[in-house]
Amino acid sequence: MGLQQDIGYVARRPNAVQRALQRLVAIPALSPILSRLVTPVDRALHRMTSGRASVTSGAIAFPTILLATTGARTGEARSTPLAAIPCGDDLAVIASNAGSGKVPGWAFNLRANPTATISYEQRVAAVAVREAEVSEHDEIFAAANRIYPGYAGYRERADYEIPVFVLTSRPD
């Protein structure tokens, strides 16, 4: 059994309104701004609804997980709502930082401590984390682009290889 089954993860195809919103949020000037606004709202909605609602999953049909990491420098718990991309039976997360040009802090946390916890809807799973192999990288980006075409723009604008992490179930 893979991580997707463990947490009941379901990726849905976006409807016409969601596709229009996806095009809007993929505009290079808007992406980083909207990300800074939506992330705290998604974090709060996740807590208030036990993971059943998020702006990201509702507005643009991108299922959102809450990734809990351990701070690389501080050792403190950190949680970040992220879009999850199916990767075989597992899930992947892309450290694009909404095309801002900077690697997000949670990526450094995962590199320092490759274990985490994810929440999806009302399920929680402990995960082992590894950076995607070169052979997986393009495949994961292609899967992400099928759900949200904005990833192609993030990748084009980045002057570095955007990190991709694969999450797999681990026993508690």
CATH no. for residue 110? 2.30.110.10
CA 130 to each of CA 68, 93, 111: distance values in angstroms, whole numbers, following the listed order: 15, 11, 8
Q: What pLDDT is attached to residue 5?
A: 83
Number of H helices, E strands in the chain: 7, 7
Q: What pLDDT is attached to residue 4?
A: 80
Q: What pLDDT is attached to residue 38?
A: 77
Q: Which of 127, 86, 126, 131 is nearest to 111 (CA)?
A: 131
Q: What pLDDT is attached to residue 20?
A: 81
Burial class of residue 6 in the structure, from the number of CB atoms within 10 Å of its CB (0-12 exposed, 13-18 middle, 19+ buried): buried
Give the whole-angstrom CA distance, residue 52 versus residue 36.
21
Q: What pLDDT is attached to residue 91?
A: 94
Give the domain extent around 35. Answer: 3-169
Each residue's pLDDT expressed in tens, for the chain with a length of 172 residues = 688 888 777 777 778 888 787 777 777 777 777 777 777 887 787 777 776 777 777 776 777 888 999 999 999 999 888 889 988 889 999 999 887 788 999 999 999 999 999 988 888 999 999 999 998 999 999 998 888 888 888 888 888 899 999 999 987 6
> What is the number of domains present in the chain?
1
Asked whether the beta carbons of 172 and 126 are under 8 A apart, the reply is: yes
Q: What pLDDT is attached to residue 95?
A: 94
CA 133 to each of CA 23, 44, 96: distance values in angstroms, whole numbers, following the listed order: 29, 33, 17
